[in-house]
């Protein structure tokens, strides 16, 4: 795909993301483009990273010489990068020109790094003359310096692709990640607001009787500290001798978790959603308030935030990774196949055809006889080696120690002899394979390299002085060879790891991210005295790795916040939350995406499985909801009409009103008009005058009996009858192609009218026999498999036919109920089905912005600016947009609630509640009058969303009832 020639004009220019210092690609020549200069500058970026990672006060106290070593390295690196910046400015131009220095993003990044390098050098000079004290906050100025590693990494991210394709990939990927981030923030905000409403400030503790709440000591608290409740029938009650008292403790003592306001609640929800200490928060809430609140709140939060949202992130990252993998497949390479044989086969062709010919790679290389080479390739040799491996694993697993005072070496007496025997066997295996294959033929396979490495390590391990030590790992690593014992396990392991470049690149990316973030965090928090989490690079690396593994990451964040000022604490929390969010939801999801990508099936097999799954789930529900099936229990009573003043010799019986609608038109002739008598007559007697009549009600329906209308009505009835016969399996009037004499082309065309059919479809229907001879567009055809382009085409057409058939059956049953039951589709059984009042309500409820603006002359859709904004406006109706804004304002009002400022005692918070209830009342009334409440096809309460709307409305209404005096 990447090798295809681009025919689009906009794709001729290739975008190279990563060649910031290569000027010849831009048509600019200069000495800075020398290869050795670029390599020197890359080495300078690595030296700068090493220097800033060693530049802490604790490190200098341990190794004093590093203070001057880092200073010298920083000066050299700063001077070289400054010279490079000046040369680039001279060659490119500073501001003027298409390729000027300040117009290139990589050059802007390099200039920022040079600025912080100079700041670091000046700061270290002040530290040398003791102008700046130790553990100064000015070390924050060095925090951006580790980002200079990007200058080295971007060399390996160099690729050339059409710029439009790269922009398309980034746009689609960013859009998906943006959507799932909004999904995540929605649940975070929801549970943050619910936490403030459910719990509020929980500050009741069990203390000794007579405790002063303004002067509380550790001796006054219960052991362990226990939260309690003043509610008689809820929460935990203090034992005798203690009382439940509300304590005003600062956050540095009581902890930063809580639901006091929206900010603290949002912070607590995120920490609990990471499954770090959420159970303690739940028990704290259960002791302070009724237990059902904490149980419902925390269990649903763990389900939605910790499981659902996390898995959605993994799904989105996996899909994004697959999208990028298709584009960058040349970078990672094709997925190979497992070699089940030691010899290779190539495809060669001759006059007789193509054949797979085995290539004898061992011929002329090994010096062993041919019979031994055949024995090496036989299954007997493989089984013998595998049995010895299994025996070695059993012997190693049987080793045990007893702490009875005997020396450790006594337990190795027999195992040492067994290890000598196994080592000699595996050494002989290596020698035998080299003798048969030759050294080059042996060393070519990766498995043989592992065998040689283990043989050499275990041989050195036999030295008595080195037997009990680190070299024992070689003996344990022999178990890895047991993977070959199971072909299924071998195939699974190979699929998981896949090409080493893919998973290896991700591991390198994770390690680089850890190094950069560790250096940044170390420079940010190394000035905190007596805090060993970030005092040097090893400690900072372990702390950031601990956050990545989500093991006690809240403890690292809380301890750092305790040692910072009150104003800096929220910024520290934001820093650690953003890092935790990125590494847990993005980086770890990338690992899952890579493994799933390696385990996924081939495209052809996956396509077949998807088609089978679609075929199984293709049957749309043909039945109606239970709330509508209730009308089928009643007898049919269609509305009838009697024809009066019809000249005929026979008495005309009553006719269905729906049938008469095809021949009449409703007009209210309350004003003088000029009505045309006939559509085809253009003489002077075409029009007639009507006298103005003031009637109390609308006049009777006027019958129109023009020739064209009669012909059109008869034609529609015939077509409707043919469709009905087709659906009930009676295809007497419809030719089945391929089963009779040859027909003409005009006889093959069958037009399927999409109008609603008036007859009932009750009874058995032979669908498959009818649709077997129909194509996707409704025309006749044969089912010859050889005539189709692909064996999957028929499946897709069959799925479409099944969907259409199920939809037609469901619509027909609704039409039957609407025809035979006057109260069907009648809101509240009072509003007439076709009344003007209902149509007026439907106009208000269904009003929607149309984002597709068409030209009135050509009828084509116009190209408009801000198309995304127009599509957003047309997403829902105007009434729904109105309620969205009202709901948003109500939620903003809820964010201002605190333990002291509640909606029950604050007037300005009650305004939003009254506005919301009033607006929702109008919405429910309009939707009920337009579409019905429950027993209508588009009822307001037809799914879980409608039930939730009514629950919210009822709850808000009850709150307002409590607010009334």
User: Which tokens in the block code for residue 197?
Assistant: 């409403």
pLDDT at 152 over 90: no
How many CB atoms are closer than 10 A to CB 200? 20
> What average pLDDT does the structure give for the chain?
76
pLDDT at 624 over 70: yes
**Long-range contacts formed by 625-631: CB under 8 A, 24+ apart:** 625/942, 627/934, 627/935, 627/939, 627/942, 628/814, 628/817, 628/824, 628/935, 628/937, 630/935, 631/817, 631/821, 631/823, 631/824, 631/935
pLDDT at 591 over 90: no
Digit-coded pLDDT (tens) for 244-295: 988 888 887 888 888 888 888 999 999 998 888 888 889 999 999 888 889 9
pLDDT at 142 over 50: yes
pLDDT at 472 over 60: yes
Residue with tokens 């010895």: 388
What pLDDT does 793 receive? Answer: 45
Could you give the CA distance from residue 632 to residue 605 in angstroms, rounded to a whole number?
A: 46
Report the candidate in 481, 499, 540 with the shortest Cα–Cα distance to residue 516.
540
Phi, psi angles (nearest 5°) of residue 756? -70, 135
Give the torsion sign (CA, 322, 326, 329, 331).
negative
Give 347's pLDDT tier (boundaries 50, 70, 90).
low
Output Rg (C-alpha) for the chain, integer angstroms.
40
Angle at 523 between CA 518 and CA 524, to 5 degrees: 95
Give 772's pLDDT tier (boundaries 50, 70, 90).
very low
What pLDDT does 492 receive? Answer: 77
Give 743's pLDDT tier (boundaries 50, 70, 90).
very low
Query: Which comes out higher in pLDDT, residue 863 or 116?
Result: 116
How confident is the model over 75-98, as a mean pLDDT?
87
Give 787's pLDDT tier (boundaries 50, 70, 90).
very low
How confident is the model over 619-645, as a mean pLDDT?
68
Contact 855, 862 (CB under 8 A): yes
Give 696's pLDDT tier (boundaries 50, 70, 90).
low
Could you give the CA distance from residue 516 to residue 892 in angstroms, rounded to a whole number?
A: 38
How confident is the model over 681-685, as a mean pLDDT?
44
Contact 489, 503 (CB under 8 A): no
pTM here?
0.61
Query: Which comes out higher in pLDDT, residue 390 or 403?
Result: 390
Give 826's pLDDT tier (boundaries 50, 70, 90).
confident
Query: Which comes out higher in pLDDT, residue 832 or 653?
Result: 832
Query: Which comes out higher in pLDDT, residue 33 or 460?
Result: 460
Digit-coded pLDDT (tens) for 920-950: 999 999 999 998 888 888 888 888 888 888 8
Could you give the CA distance from residue 521 to residue 139 in angstroms, rounded to a whole number?
A: 11
Which region, left, alpha or beta, applies to residue 617 given φ > 0 means left and ψ of -120 to 50 means alpha?
Answer: alpha
What pLDDT does 840 receive? Answer: 92
How confident is the model over 222-228, as a mean pLDDT?
87
How confident is the model over 765-778, as a mean pLDDT?
43
Helix (H, G, I), strand (E, B) or coil at 205: strand
DSSP output for 63-89: -THHHHHHHHHHHHHHHHHHHHHHHHH
Most confidently modeled range among 116-120, 178-182, 629-633: 116-120
What pLDDT does 844 receive? Answer: 93
What pLDDT does 469 receive? Answer: 75
What pLDDT does 766 receive? Answer: 41
Could you give the CA distance from residue 262 to residue 265 in angstroms, rounded to a whole number?
A: 5
Helix (H, G, I), strand (E, B) or coil at 921: helix
Report the candidate in 299, 285, 287 with the shortest Cα–Cα distance to residue 198.
285
Torsion of the alpha carbons at 527, 528, 534 and 537, rounded to the nearest 10: 20
Give 146's pLDDT tier (boundaries 50, 70, 90).
very high
First to last CA, the chain: 73
User: Could you give the percent of the chain with pLDDT greater than 70?
Assistant: 73
Give the torsion sign (CA, 688, 694, 698, 699).
negative
Query: Which comes out higher in pLDDT, residue 187 or 754?
Result: 187
Digit-coded pLDDT (tens) for 511-524: 989 999 999 999 99
Query: Which comes out higher in pLDDT, residue 725 or 756?
Result: 725
Give 100's pLDDT tier (boundaries 50, 70, 90).
confident
- CB contact set of 608 (below 8 Å; sequence gap of 6+): 792
Among 140-154, 406-420, 553-567, 791-805, the minimum mean pLDDT is found in: 791-805
Digit-coded pLDDT (tens) for 161-199: 666 777 777 777 777 788 888 888 899 999 999 998 888
pLDDT at 353 over 60: no
Give 918's pLDDT tier (boundaries 50, 70, 90).
very high
Q: What b/e sequence results for 724-754 when a residue is b if at least 16 CB atoms lie within 10 Å of its CB, and e otherwise?
A: bebbbeeeeeebebeeeeeeeeeeeebeeee
What pLDDT does 491 receive? Answer: 76
How confident is the model over 465-486, as a mean pLDDT?
80
Give the torsion sign (CA, 898, 899, 903, 905).
negative
Q: What b/e sequence results for 475-504 when a residue is b if at least 16 CB atoms lie within 10 Å of its CB, and e otherwise?
A: beebeebeeeeeeeeeeeebeeebeeebbe
Phi, psi angles (nearest 5°) of residue 211? -75, 135
Give 627's pLDDT tier (boundaries 50, 70, 90).
confident
How confident is the model over 341-348, as a mean pLDDT?
51
Residue with tokens 């200079």: 148
How confident is the model over 421-443, as a mean pLDDT?
89
């Amino acid at each position: 795909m990447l090798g295809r020639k681009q025919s689009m004009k906009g794709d001729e220019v290739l975008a190279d993301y990563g060649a910031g210092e290569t000027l010849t690609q831009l048509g600019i020549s200069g000495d800075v483009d020398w290869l050795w200069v670029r390599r020197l500058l890359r080495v300078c970026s690595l030296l700068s990273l090493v220097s800033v990672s060693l530049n802490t006060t604790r490190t200098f106290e341990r190794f004093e010489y590093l203070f001057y070593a880092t200073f010298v390295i920083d000066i050299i690196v700063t001077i070289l990068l400054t010279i490079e910046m000046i040369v680039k400015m001279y060659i490119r131009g500073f501001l003027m020109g298409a390729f000027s220095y300040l117009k290139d993003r990589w050059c802007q990044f390099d200039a920022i790094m040079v600025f912080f390098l100079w700041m670091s050098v000046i700061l270290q000079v002040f530290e040398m003359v003791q102008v700046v004290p130790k553990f100064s906050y000015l070390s924050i100025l060095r925090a951006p310096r580790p980002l200079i590693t990007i200058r080295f990494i971007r060399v390996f991210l160099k690729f050339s692709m059409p710029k439009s394709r790269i922009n398309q990939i980034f746009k689609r990927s960013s859009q998906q990640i943006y959507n799932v981030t909004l999904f995540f923030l929605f649940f975070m905000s929801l549970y943050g607001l619910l936490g403030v409403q459910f719990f509020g400030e929980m500050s009741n503790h069990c203390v000794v009787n007579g405790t002063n709440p303004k002067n509380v000591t550790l001796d006054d608290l219960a052991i362990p500290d226990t939260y309690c409740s003043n509610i008689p029938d809820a929460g935990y009650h203090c034992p005798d001798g203690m009382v439940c008292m509300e304590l005003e403790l600062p956050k540095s003592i009581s902890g930063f978790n809580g639901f006091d306001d929206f900010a603290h609640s949002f912070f607590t929800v995120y920490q609990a959603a990471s499954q770090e200490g959420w159970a303690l928060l739940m028990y704290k809430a259960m002791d302070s308030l009724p237990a059902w609140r904490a149980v419902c709140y925390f269990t649903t939060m763990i389900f939605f935030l910790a499981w659902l949202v996390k898995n959605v992130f993994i799904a989105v990252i996996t899909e994004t990774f697959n999208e990028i993998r298709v584009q960058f497949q040349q970078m990672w390479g094709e997925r190979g196949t497992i070699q089940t044989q030691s010899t290779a086969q190539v495809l060669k062709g001759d006059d007789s055809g193509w054949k797979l010919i085995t290539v004898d790679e061992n011929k002329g290389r090994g010096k062993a006889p041919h019979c031994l080479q055949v024995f090496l390739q036989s299954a007997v040799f493989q089984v013998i080696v595998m049995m010895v491996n299994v025996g070695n694993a059993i012997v190693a697993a049987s080793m045990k120690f007893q702490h009875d005072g005997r020396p450790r070496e006594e337990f190795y007496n027999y195992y040492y002899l067994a290890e000598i025997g196994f080592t000699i066997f595996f050494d002989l295996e290596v020698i035998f394979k080299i003798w048969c294959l030759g050294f080059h033929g042996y060393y070519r396979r990766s498995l043989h390299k592992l065998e040689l490495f283990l043989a050499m390590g275990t041989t050195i391990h036999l030295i008595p002085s080195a037997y009990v030590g680190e070299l024992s790992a070689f003996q344990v690593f022999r178990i890895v060879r047991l993977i070959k014992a199971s072909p299924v396990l071998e195939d699974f392991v190979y699929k998981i790891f896949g090409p080493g470049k893919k998973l290896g690149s991700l591991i390198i990316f994770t390690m680089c991210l850890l190094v950069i973030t560790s250096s940044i965090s170390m420079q940010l928090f190394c000035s905190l005295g007596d805090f060993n989490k970030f005092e040097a690079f090893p400690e900072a690396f372990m702390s950031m790795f601990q956050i990545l593994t989500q093991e006690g990451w809240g403890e690292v964040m809380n301890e750092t916040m305790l040692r910072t000022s009150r104003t800096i604490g929220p910024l520290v929390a934001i820093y650690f939350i953003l890092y935790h969010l990125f590494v847990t939801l993005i980086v770890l999801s990338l690992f899952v995406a890579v493994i799933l990508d390696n385990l996924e099936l081939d495209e052809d097999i996956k396509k077949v499985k998807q088609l089978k799954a679609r075929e199984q789930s293709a049957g749309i529900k043909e039945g109606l909801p239970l709330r509508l099936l209730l009308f089928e229990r009643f007898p049919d009573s269609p509305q009838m009409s009697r024809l009066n003043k019809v000249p005929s010799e026979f008495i005309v019986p009553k006719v269905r009103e729906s049938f008469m609608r095809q021949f009449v038109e409703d007009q209210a002739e309350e004003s003088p008009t000029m009505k045309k008598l006939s559509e085809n007559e253009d003489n002077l007697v075409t029009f007639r005058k009507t006298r103005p009549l003031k009637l109390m009600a609308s006049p009777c329906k006027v019958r129109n009996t023009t020739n064209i209308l009669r012909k059109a009505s008869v034609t529609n009835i015939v077509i409707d009858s043919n469709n009905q016969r087709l659906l009930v399996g009676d295809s007497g009037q419809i030719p089945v192609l391929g089963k009779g004499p040859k027909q003409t082309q005009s006889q093959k065309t069958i037009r399927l009218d999409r109008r609603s059919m008036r007859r009932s479809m009750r009874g058995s229907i032979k669908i498959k026999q009818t649709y077997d001879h129909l194509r996707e567009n409704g025309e006749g055809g044969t089912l010859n498999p050889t005539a189709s382009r692909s064996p999957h085409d028929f499946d897709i057409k069959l799925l479409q036919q099944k969907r259409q058939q199920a939809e037609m059956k469901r619509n027909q049953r609704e039409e039957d109920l609407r025809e035979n039951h006057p109260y069907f589709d009648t809101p509240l059984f009072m509003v007439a089905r076709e009344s003007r009042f209902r149509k007026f309500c439907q106009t208000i409820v269904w009003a929607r912005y149309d984002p597709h603006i068409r030209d009135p002359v050509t009828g084509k859709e116009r190209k408009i600016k801000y198309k995304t904004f127009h599509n957003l406006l047309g997403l829902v109706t105007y009434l729904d947009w109105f309620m969205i804004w009202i709901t948003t304002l109500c939620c903003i009002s809820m964010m201002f609630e605190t333990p002291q400022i509640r909606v029950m005692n604050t007037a300005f918070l009650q305004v939003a509640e009254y506005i919301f209830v009033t607006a929702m009342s109008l919405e429910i009334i309009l939707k009920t009058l337009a579409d019905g409440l429950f027993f209508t096809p588009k009822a307001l309460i037809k799914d879980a969303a409608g039930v939730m709307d009514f629950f919210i409305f009822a709850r808000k209404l009850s709150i307002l009832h409590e607010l009334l005096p």
